[in-house]
Amino acid sequence: MTDWQDDVLENCLDALLDYRGKSPPKSPIGIPVLSAKVVKTSGLLHPIEQKIASDYYSKWMVRGSPHVGDVVMTTEGPMGEVIQLTEETVQYALGQRIVCLRGKSGVLDNTFLRYLLSSPSQQNILKSYSTGTTVPGISQKALRSVPISYPSFDTQKRIGILLSSIDDKIDLNRRTNETLEAMARALFRDWFVDFGPTRAKMAGQAPYLAPEIWELFPDRLDNEGKPEGWKFSSIYDVASVVYGAPFASSLFNTQGEGIPLVRIRDLPSEKPGVWTTENHPKGFKILPGMIVVGMDGEFRAHLWGGEEAWLNQRVCIFLPNEGISSVFLRETIIPQLKFIEDTEVATTVIHLGKGDINEFTAIVLSRDLMSSFNDAAEVFYEKIVRNKQEARTLAQLRDLLLPKLISGEIRIRDAEKMVGDAL
């Protein structure tokens, strides 16, 4: 690290935009708001539900406008989550507990700054400058005085390009998965919500599916508006539900020892934060490709792409019965979970109970048609899970290289070879 320099953050910045304080008024539609709730170093959490009205944007963003490439960091709840603004996200509003940083031209490269702030060593420094025990936070004054170390500007750019190439591939996988999921959902909706093939038959339209599949759809709708011969039945006719077990927190560790434990907080990132070596007599291990639902807070049917892990309490798994696809099951329960969530938000009791799940229904149709749907739809989910697993491997490589590059422990040339082999 002979060519590295030491300084304080303020001396290396062209801009620091601080939008902490009063939260902007919410709007059902409009411009998404970047907040500590959605800004995560692993990537923005979607969907971003907090929005402000489009015509209010200019009134809110009076402390300065962000630029593409600026670094956004959370200052509290939690502190130290970091992202870099893109052509899309630079148009979002900055919300509460957020600061936006811009490195000084020729001194501090923004992409390097992004990875510097998220490195373990710099995270420890941020914590040492924070206040609060239950919810640590850092003031603007303290943040400006945080010490940093950095190499030459050219070396910073090489480090930033190298690490961002990994994150770009991870983001490509994420966006590809969004497309694959939309395709699977569109197929499910056409067949089992809109009853497209049956309606097309009734209208005398030409077949738009393979003849052998087209013949499996009923020719008309019944008095209830669904295809003749189909019926609505209990969710348990297409799935079973497994509930997580209570693991004693005294058995948790954060050193990666044992088998990961999936808690509600781990579902969005698919990155467990604790491990346990304890085998629970009623424990259940979640595997990639399973449908996992948190039972408190926001009810989302996650298609698990993380590693094998124990299932903790207040989390459950929907397991498709034989002959039922994961796509069919997940798309069946998603709107029912949303209905429960919307209903319970009105009563401020956000909990999904076994009694709620017992009321879930599913449409039942012929085995041959279900088999045809499985053949067409499961390929989407299989690819999604593979992309998630690849992204996890790439994230592990990035996390391995990050502290070594930031500390100068590994040469850029060696790291570039490792990344080239992985990509």
Instruction: Say yes or no: 204 and 288 in one domain.
Output: no
Do 306 and 254 belong together in one domain? yes
Same domain, 47 and 73: yes
345 belongs to a structural domain: yes
Kindly state the average pLDDT of the residues 64-86.
Answer: 95
Mean pLDDT of 95-113: 95
| The predicted structure's pLDDT at residue 279 | 78
Give a yes or no: residue 223 inside a domain: no
Cβ(324)–Cβ(236) below 8 Å: no
Q: Are residues 143 and 10 in the same domain?
A: yes
Q: How far apart are CA 375 and CA 210, in angstroms?
A: 13
Asked whether the predicted pLDDT for residue 20 surpasses 90, the reply is no
User: Which residues, listed in sequence order, are joined to residue 32 by a DSSP beta bridge?
Assistant: 51
DSSP secondary structure string for all residues of 266-322 = GTTTT--SEEE-PPPTT--EE-TT-EEEESBSS--EEE--S--EEEBTTEEEEEEPT
3-class SS string, 141-179: HHHHCCEEEECCHHHHHHHHHHHHHHHHHHHHHHHHHHH
> Based on the domain organization, do 272 and 300 belong to the same domain?
yes
The model's confidence at residue 96, banded by pLDDT at 50, 70 and 90, is: confident
Same domain, 285 and 394: no
pLDDT computed for residue 349 by the predictor: 58
Report the number of distinct structural domains present in the chain.
3
Q: Give 71's pLDDT tier (boundaries 50, 70, 90).
A: very high
Question: How far apart are alpha carbons 335 and 300 in whole angstroms?
Answer: 10
CATH number for the domain spanning 13: value is 3.90.220.20
CB 103 within 8 A of CB 141: no
Encoding tokens for residue 191? 């067949």
Task: Identify which of 391, 389, 383 has the alpha carbon closest to the alpha carbon of residue 42.
Answer: 391
Whether 69 and 145 share a structural domain: yes
* pLDDT the model gives residue 422: 86
Q: What percent of the chain has pLDDT over 90?
A: 79
- How high does pLDDT run on average in the chain? 93
- pLDDT tens digit string along 270-309? 888 899 987 777 789 999 999 999 999 878 999 999 999 9
112 contact partners, CB below 8 Å, separation of at least 6: 103, 150, 156, 157, 159, 160
d(CA 110, CA 12): 10
The Cα 320–Cα 328 span in angstroms is: 9
More confident site: 384 or 271: 384
Specify the pLDDT at position 282: 77
- pLDDT digits 0-9 by tens, 217-237: 999 999 999 999 999 999 999
Residue 358 CA neighbour count, 13 Å, CB half: 3
* 78 in the same domain as 125: yes
For residues 72 and 96, the answer to whether their CB atoms sit within 8 Å is no
Is residue 17 located within the same domain as residue 57? yes
Last residue of a domain, one of 126, 150, 174: 150
pLDDT tops 70 at residue 347: no
Q: Please, are residues 259 and 265 in contact by the beta-carbon 8 Å criterion?
A: no
| 76 and 24 assigned to the same domain | yes
Whether residue 253 is contained in a domain is answered as: yes
CB 309, CB 279: distance < 8 Å: no
What is the spatial distance between Cα 93 and Cα 51, in angstroms, rounded to a whole number?
Answer: 8
Q: Between 19 and 169, whose confidence is greater?
A: 169
Amino acid 346: pLDDT: 54
State the pLDDT confidence band at 77, using cuts at 50, 70 and 90.
confident
The last residue of one of the domains, among 91, 115, 150, is 150
Asked whether the predicted pLDDT for residue 134 surpasses 90, the reply is no
Establish if 222 belongs to a structural domain: no
Say if residue 124 is in the same domain as residue 30: yes
Residue 50 covered by a domain: yes
Is 348 inside any structural domain? yes
Phi and psi at residue 52, to the nearest 5°: -120, 155
Mean pLDDT within 351-365: 94
At 42, the pLDDT band (50, 70, 90 cuts) reads: confident
Residue 226 belongs to some domain of the structure: no
Q: How far apart are CA 176 and CA 158, in angstroms?
A: 27
Provide the domain limits for residue 20. Answer: 5-150
Mean pLDDT, rounded, for 357-373: 96
> Is residue 237 a part of any domain in this protein?
yes
Of the residues 346, 364, 382, the one at which a domain ends: 364
Question: Are 162 and 277 in a shared domain?
Answer: no
Q: What are phi and psi of 33, to 5 degrees?
A: -115, 130
